[in-house]
Amino acid sequence: MRTAVITFPASNCDRDAAVALRKVTGIKPVMVWHRDTELPKDIEFVIIPGGFSYGDYLRCGAMASRSPIVADLVKKAKKGLAIAGFCNGFQVLTEAGLLPGALMRNKGLKFVCRPEKLEIINNTSRYTAKYNDQSEVVYPVAHHDGNYYADKETLNKIEGQGQVIFRYKDNPNGSVNDIAGICNEGGNVFGMMPHPERAIDPMHGGTDGIKLFKSIIESI
């Protein structure tokens, strides 16, 4: 299968995402530049990686969400393309309107960088189906603006429809309802602040992230 990773100016986790995809699929993903206007043909899964796109000027992810390639992502997401955004990628997805809510400055106003224990809230999603025998994972976090917020109506909707996929066990940023990761109504677009792509090698501290990638790849 063909996968892709989008690279923006100041992306710094695009290689991590590419390594994770190659480890799971055995095939090198296509690296797509943010100024490209269309994804290559036959792409079935896209990752928007972490980093500091455009230096985090304005709101994090705001400028990247206006990049030419994102317009094509939005169009293809509506047709069911599987898209995941991690850290800055999650911020881009909310700014582009592909996921509800917003990511604000951490409650403690400090950058947090540490392994974080997460509770799997929905293990029937396309991104978590392989975790059927597991209720918790440990992924690293590294962000300054990871405080997830949504209004009460939106929260009730995503909670009621099973769109909340992960929660923090020890909330590092003040996110409402301890939310760490969510998907859209269709289940094809997923975003989270923690980094599953940095949890695929025992030499880096753990391999809990592998099942997330296997889940979505097998679902496709």
* pLDDT (0 to 100) of residue 81: 98
Other C-beta atoms closer than 10 Å to the C-beta of 121 total 21
Q: Which residues are catalytic?
A: 87, 195, 197
Q: How far apart are CA 28 and CA 21, in angstroms?
A: 7
Residue recorded with tokens 């000027």:
57
pLDDT of residue 56: 79
Place of tokens 């455009």: 54
- Note the pLDDT of residue 1: 87
Q: What is the pLDDT of residue 55?
A: 78
Q: Where are the domains of the chain?
A: 2-219
Mean pLDDT, 10 residues at a time, the chain of 220 residues: 95 96 96 96 96 82 92 97 98 97 94 96 96 94 96 98 98 98 98 97 93 96
Cα first-last separation, the chain: 9
**3-state secondary structure string across 28-93:** CCEEEECCCCCCCCCEEEEEECCECHHHHCCCCCCCHHHCHHHHHHHHHHCCCCEEEEECHHHHHH
Q: Would you state the pLDDT for residue 54?
A: 80
pLDDT of residue 58: 78
Q: What is the pTM of this model?
A: 0.95
Residues comprising the chain, all counted: 220
Q: Which CATH class is domain 2-219?
A: alpha beta
pLDDT of 73: 97
